[in-house]
């Protein structure tokens, strides 16, 4: 008897999970919209505090890594194993760069006494406090997703190395890729909402 | 079922074109953010973000080549998301 792999079923399962993620971040964006409506000036002030160069750099890093993940799936299907390994390694490296940037960004904010429950925020404008509260929750949750995505890509990389993923069995790589693209999707909205509001 | 067993393989060229478009649109969002358009700042930024997301979904996430179940369930999710964000914001804005 031959065990059939239900590729479509595996993919539908992954997409169902992604829908729940979309709604999770959607809920946070509702909060953002409602408070933005209430405190537009404070949100503009808060947005100017954020470094749009680092934000743009991180956007570029994530877009490129999304491209390399998509290319690695093409590579494995075309049978070029070495290229797949290289592209996946590069994608994980991009995730790492993203997190390092985030570390410096958060570090600078915390250094300027801007973090949840800090003196500056508690005694300052309520709108600014909400803006940075949302900033830390949303970018923090997104950062957590970047870490999970890197773990999934690393597992896929190991599976390619040991031959558990090859041209005919790519579901693990495919689904890790989908997760990584979702991380990218969320960042595409986070970037203009936090860094570019004026 | 009309879903192919062998998945559709995107060419490196296609993927590169999508990446270039995405990077260009990122440049446009950053550029546009320096122009003061008053009320239109947020809608324009969101419109560009939606365009970028569409490219990622269709090509990187392969949605253009998926079967009916995934496409329909995705559209339902987005419809729900629009209702959730739209109606909540409507309530807040016009209370």
Alpha helices in B1-67 (DSSP H): 12-33, 41-55
Kindly compute the dihedral angle of the four CA atoms of residues A154, A160, A166, A170, in this order, to the nearest 10 degrees: -10
Q: Which residues of B touch A12 (CB under 8 A)?
A: 69-70, 73
What distance in Å separates the CA atoms of residue A99 and residue A147, rounded to the nearest whole number? 8
Burial class (CB in 10 A: 0-12, 13-18, 19+), B80: middle
Q: What share of chain A is helix, strand, coil (3-state, %, to 5)?
A: 85, 0, 15
Exposure string of A166-183, with b = 16+ CB inside 10 Å and e = fewer, is eeeebbbbbbbbbbbbbb
Out of B15, B26, B49, closest to residue A70 by CB: B15
**Residues B69, B57 share a domain:** no
CA B72 to chain centre: 16
**Predicted local confidence at residue A133, as pLDDT:** 95
Rounded-to-integer distance, Cα B12 and Cα A121, Å = 48
Shortest alpha-carbon distance between residue B53 and chain A (Å): 6
B54 in contact with A at a CB cutoff of 8 Å? Answer: no
- Report the residue of B13, B52, B72 to disrupt the A interface, i.e. the one with the largest count of A CBs within 10 Å: B52
Residue A34 has its nearest CB partner, among B7, B30, B89, at B89
Which chain A residues touch B9 with a CB distance below 8 Å? 74, 77-78
Contact check, Cβ <8 Å, B74/A8? no
CB contact under 8 A, B92 and A34: yes
The residue range of the domain holding B90 is: 64-95
Superfamily of domain A7-195: Cytochrome c oxidase, subunit III, four-helix bundle (1.20.120.80)
Q: How many residues does chain A have?
A: 198
B43 touching chain A per CB within 8 A: no
Supply the pLDDT for residue B2. Answer: 43
Residues B39 and B25 in one domain: yes
Q: What is the ipTM of this complex?
A: 0.91
Tens digit of pLDDT at every position of chain A (198 positions): 566 778 889 999 999 999 999 999 999 999 999 999 999 999 989 998 899 899 999 999 999 999 999 999 999 999 999 999 999 999 999 999 999 999 999 999 999 999 998 998 999 899 999 999 999 999 999 999 999 999 999 999 999 999 999 888 899 999 999 999 999 999 999 999 999 876
pLDDT band for position B3 (50/70/90)?
very low
Task: Answer whether A196's CB lies under 8 Å from B35's CB.
Answer: no
Nearest-Cα distance to chain B for A130, in Å, is 16
Indicate the number of domains in chain B: 2
- The two three-digit tokens of residue A83, written as one number: 């290229």
Of A39, A31, A59, A47, the residue nearest A198 (C-alpha): A47
| Better-predicted residue by pLDDT, A91 or B1 | A91
Q: Residues B68, B51: one domain?
A: no
The Cα B6–Cα B2 span in angstroms is 12
Quick one: B19 and B55 in the same domain?
yes
């Amino acid at each position: 008897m031959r065990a059939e792999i239900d590729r479509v079923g595996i993919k539908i399962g992954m997409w169902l999970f992604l829908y729940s993620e979309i709604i999770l971040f959607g809920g946070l964006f509702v909060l953002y919209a409602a408070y933005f409506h209430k405190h537009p000036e404070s949100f503009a002030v808060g947005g100017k505090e954020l470094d749009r160069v680092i934000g743009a750099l991180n956007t570029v890093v994530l877009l490129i890594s999304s491209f390399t993940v998509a290319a690695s799936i093409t590579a494995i299907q075309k049978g070029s194993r070495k290229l797949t390994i290289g592209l996946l390694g590069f994608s994980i490296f991009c995730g790492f760069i993203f997190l390092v940037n985030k570390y410096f960004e958060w570090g600078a904010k915390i250094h300027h006494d801007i973090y949840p429950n800090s003196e500056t925020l508690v005694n300052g404008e309520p709108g600014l406090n909400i803006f940075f509260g949302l900033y830390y929750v949303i970018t923090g949750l997104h950062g957590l997703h970047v870490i999970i995505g890197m773990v999934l890509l690393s597992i896929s990389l190991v599976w390619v190395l040991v031959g558990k993923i090859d041209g005919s069995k790519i579901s693990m790589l495919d689904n890790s890729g989908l997760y990584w693209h979702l991380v990218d999707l969320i960042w595409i909205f986070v970037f203009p909402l936090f860094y570019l509001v004026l | 079922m009309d879903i192919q067993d062998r998945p559709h393989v995107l060419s490196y060229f296609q993927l590169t074109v999508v990446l270039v478009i995405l990077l260009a649109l990122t440049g446009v969002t950053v550029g546009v953010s320096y122009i003061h358009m008053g009320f239109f700042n947020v809608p324009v930024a969101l419109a560009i973000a939606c365009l970028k997301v569409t490219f990622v979904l269709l090509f990187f996430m392969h949605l253009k080549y998926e079967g009916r179940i995934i496409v329909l369930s995705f559209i339902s999710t987005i419809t729900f998301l629009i209702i959730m964000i739209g109606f909540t914001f409507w309530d807040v804005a016009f209370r």
